[in-house]
Structure 1
Amino acid sequence: MPNKEQVSSLQIAFMIMLFEIGSTPLFLLGGTAKQDSWLAMCTGSAAGFILLLLLMWIQWRSPGTDLIGMLKLHFGKLPGAVIGGVYSLYFAYQSMRNVRDLGELTAMTMLPRTPMSVTMLVFVLLALYAIWKGAEVVFRLPEVLLPVMLVFYILLVIMLGIMGAIDFGRLSPVLGGGLMPVIEAALPEIVSFPFGQMIVFLMLWSLWEKPGLPVKYTVNAYLLISLFLIFMNALNVAVLGPAIAGISQLPFLKTVRTLSNLKFVERLDILVTAQLFVGLLIKMMIFYFCSVKAMAGLTGKPAKWWVFPVGAVIYGASFLERDYTQHIAIGLGPSLKLDPVFQVAIPLLLAVSIWVRGRFGRSGNF
């Protein structure tokens, strides 16, 4: 990406919040912990915060450099380039998963007769256009979309409260099954998704308009959105109960449909679907953007050279899974088991390499 592209502290904070929301409301994370799923979210977010501190330390020790530059500097040009290429594929794969989520969600809720190939192509083209225009356009979107999304969520929660649909008694008994089900539900699944996906910001923090790292804005955004996701998880269980929430394909959509008795407003599910679209689109766009940025860093070619090829790969790969059941099974199964390699193992190795080089003075950058 051109060096002139810069983003503000607030844009980074808003992007973190919208990115973390992403597709998270599609699922009841930690559902195996039943009524304690919100505690699993707390545990996952706490572990994710430790990982975030590691990522921020890596960025702090590598000012103005993105993940690809760090890998080539600390692992050697060839090994670093190979690992960087794998990261580019990883980001593209994660983007593909969100494209498929968008297609499936559209087919289930709004356009059941429209081929998914058409709706997914529209979403990829939207992301492609924004990425083609550059980082400043991509990061401007959350400034507009996040406040609107949060207002809608607040209104829906207020209406659920007015209707008497929320019963926090469904969250008891707390730790009824002991502590282990909570830990097993949180590690590594909830750490990997969504909190471990903060790895993408090693590609993005270097775009900050000031030297260094926006620590305050990053930490505050992470803590605020963690509290939001924990509350939304508890809300789904409080409205639906742990049994129904755990087996629902779209638990928050089912939660909002309990407001169907309201006489003064109809089709709130469309509002919820629109919110999910926004979160999924931003998440898909950021992974796509990072994949393009990685390829530009690896090849030395302008990012625009890679916008169309990477987009074509993402769109084509979104058809590999035969149906939504297989898509979810892979996403919450093998995919989550592979995530710690990219989100934890490699960053740890990178941090060790940075520390060793700094400790023994073998790099003039520190």
Structure 2
Amino acid sequence: MLKENLSLSQLFAIIIGFNLGTTLVVVLGITAKEDAWITVLLSTFTGLIIASFFLNINELVPSKNLFEIIEFGFNRFIAIPITLVYSLYFFYLAARTIRDFGELTSTFILPLTPIEIITLSLMLIIGYILYLGIEILGRTTEIFTPYSALFLFLLIIFLFASQNISITKIQPVLARGLLPVIDAMFPIEVSRPYGELIVMTCVFPHISNLKMRKKSVIYSVAVSGILLTIATLIITSSLGITTASRATFPLLSTTRLISIADFFERIDALAVFIIMLGIVIKSSIFIYGGLKGLEYIFKFPYRYFVVPSVCIISMFSIFISLDINDHIKEASLVVPYLLYLPLQFAFPCFLLFVLLLKKFIHKGNSPLHDKTYKNP
């Protein structure tokens, strides 16, 4: 099978779309109240460190994804159960992301359409893209991601034009000090979306230009962080922190404030496009990461698992929670502590320690190499 490659611009677009993803569904840093935007901004700097950390793991064993690196650090016998855990973890996050899309669509766009039909329709598109390959996802993302940034800035312009933005709604700045901002960052705001970038370790090997890969990743994380900061600032300064914290989909609620001369209004489609594209990209990357795990375990090309995986994830996204309130509660109270901390930080740190120890034992300054596993 020919190796699939991604360009630097495609990687740049994928990470921006991935980070925006479902992150725009809720207000980030809401526990910091008026300083929510400061929480998001500081989280971006932490996100740069996290992205560099995942890159360093890949660079120690070039051209290998997360699961192959785990085998190199330990052995295949140990790597298989760990790979299974990560595959299920990625599929679970994909199901949560798909559920976000279903709730958004059934609430604001197609209220009379069953959420099962909405979810299945999206999964058919994602399954088709993944079956064609990661290159197709890269090209699709490269084309549409600039529109998301453009639409976000258009929303800002329209909000200013309709005089809905008030700086007083985010004042006073740091009235309670910096401690509430830091408390809001950990673990949720740092883990989502930056800790979730661990799935990108399954994408990094597809970049042939290793020298420029790190710059592309760092720049994309920085740009996405700035966009998230701007979005949070606009939402809180338009709705106010009380209304924003109660809104199910705050970006859409903010968009509905736009009314210029009682003529130019109801431009929800811009916000829906931004969120929908991010959800497609994010869920596709999560599913791709899980499929690569199955490919490693069973030694069959990941395309063999696309159809059954898509069907199972589609079904699981329906049963994952009772309603939107239960869905959001689980994301903020359960997931960060049971999944984010051990799988995004604890085990990767241990893996990096093992890789560095092996490199020290081999006393080599060049990257580590291993031939125990070959892609099918």
**What is the CA-CA distance between 1:104 and the residue it aligns to?**
0.6
Distance in 2 (CA, whole Å) between partners of 1:50 and 1:219 is: 9
CA contact (8 A) 1:63 1:213 kept: no
TM-aligned CA deviation for residue 359 of structure 1: 0.8
Question: For residues 70-85 of structure 1, what are the structure 2 equivalents within 5 Å?
Answer: 70-85=69-84
Deviation sequence 1:224-272 (CA, Å, 0-9, x none): 1111101111111111111111221111111111113543433211321
**Separation in 2, partners of 1:125, 1:212:** 36
Answer yes or no: is the 8 Å Cα contact 2:16–2:221 preserved in 1: yes
Secondary structure class of the residue paired with 1:64: coil
Which residue identity is paired with 2:57? I
Counterpart-to-counterpart distance in 1, 2:101 and 2:42: 28
Structure 1 146/21 Cα, relative in aligned 2: closer, same or farther at 3 Å? same
- Equivalent AA in structure 2 for residue 348 of structure 1: C
Name the CA distance, whole Å, in 1 between partners of 2:261 and 2:48.
40
Where do 4+ consecutive residues of structure 1 move more than 6 Å?
Answer: none
The residue correspondences of 1:182-201 to structure 2 (distance < 5 A) are 182-201=181-200
**Which residue of the partner structure matches residue 159 of structure 2?**
160
Instruction: Note the 1:11-50 alignment, pairs <5 A.
Output: 11-50=10-49
Structure 1 equivalent of residue 333 of structure 2: 333
Structure 1 stretches lacking a partner, 5+ long? none
Q: What amino acid does structure 2 have at the position aligned with 1:365?
A: L
Q: What residue in structure 2 maps to residue 4 of structure 1?
A: 3
TM-score, normalised to structure 1, is 0.96
User: Is the aligned partner of 1:323 residue 2:323?
Assistant: yes
**Given the superposition, is the C-alpha separation of residues 223 and 159 from structure 1 closer, same or farther in structure 2, using an over 3 Å criterion?**
same
Query: Is it true that 1:358 corresponds to 2:359 in the alignment?
Result: yes
| Alpha-carbon offset, residue 74 of structure 1 | 0.3
Aligned to 1:239: 238
Moved more, 177-186 or 115-124: 177-186
SS at match of 1:352: helix
Q: Closer, same or farther in 2 for the Cα pair 1:100/1:319, shift >3 Å?
A: same
- Pairing 1:169–2:192 present: no
1:197-234 per-residue CA deviation (whole Å, 9 max, x = no partner) reads: 11111110001133466011111111111111011111
- Structure 1 distance, partners of 2:212, 2:359, is 19
Q: How does 1:111-122 map to 2 (within 5 A)?
A: 111-122=110-121
Residues 130-175 of structure 1, C-alpha deviations (whole Å, 9 max, x = no match): 0000111011111111111111111111111122211122222111
The residue that corresponds to 1:109 in the other structure is 108
Distance in 2, matches of 1:106 and 1:181, equals 34
CA distance in 1, matches of 2:324, 2:240: 24
Offset of residue 122 of structure 1: 0.5
C-alpha distance in 2, partners of 1:3/1:58? 24
Quick one: distance in 1 between partners of 2:323 and 2:110?
Answer: 17
Partner of residue 313, structure 1: 312
Q: 1:347: which partner in 2?
A: 348
Read off the aligned partner of 1:335 and give its amino acid letter.
V
Query: What's the TM-score once normalised by structure 2's chain length?
Result: 0.93
Q: Identity rate of aligned residues, in percent?
A: 28
d(CA) in 2 for partners of 1:170, 1:196: 30
